[in-house]
């Protein structure tokens, strides 16, 4: 497998519509792999991506850089409806912080909450599986 493909962002999830597991990769959103179990879906999408990257390289086409390997500036432009913008400015003023500081803290807090939820879900899954 190409080194760049090893760094890609893979995911395997259940598809009720297909009644199968689906392997996907963020850097190549048009690619997916269906399989009867998670291991096969993961291995299948990795093989497909490796073949796709090899084809792109052979044809001299650009190969997407892995999300994990990209450089990020730390700047993020977010568009919200004017009323939401107004409410956030008022809230920031009431807290005596900049709008940027308020937005950044909200994003970090939301990310932390999602990480905690993800950890809790994984723990619950592991516990349920162990009890079976």
For the stretch 8-49, pLDDT in tens is 999 999 999 999 999 999 999 999 999 999 999 999 999 999
CA distances from 6 to 43, 65, 67, 126 (A): 12, 11, 11, 26
Average pLDDT of the segment spanning 48-77? 95
**Who wins on pLDDT, 78 or 33?**
33
Per the document, the length of the chain is 132
Split at pLDDT 50, 70, 90, the class of 112 is confident
Q: CB atoms < 10 A from the CB of 63, how many?
A: 16
Name the pTM for this structure.
Answer: 0.67
């Amino acid at each position: 497998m190409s080194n760049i493909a090893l760094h890609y962002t893979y995911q395997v999830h259940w598809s009720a519509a297909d009644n199968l597991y689906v392997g996907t990769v963020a850097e190549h959103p048009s690619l997916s792999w269906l399989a009867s179990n998670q291991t096969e879906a993961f291995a299948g999408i990795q093989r497909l991506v490796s073949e796709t990257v090899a084809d792109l390289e052979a044809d001299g086409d650009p190969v997407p850089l892995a999300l994990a390997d990209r450089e990020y500036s730390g700047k993020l432009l977010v568009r919200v409806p004017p009323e939401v913008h107004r409410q956030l400015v008022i809230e920031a003023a009431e807290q005596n912080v900049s709008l940027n500081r308020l937005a950044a803290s909200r994003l970090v807090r939301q990310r932390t909450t999602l990480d905690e939820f993800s950890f809790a879900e994984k723990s619950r899954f592991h516990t349920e599986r162990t009890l079976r």
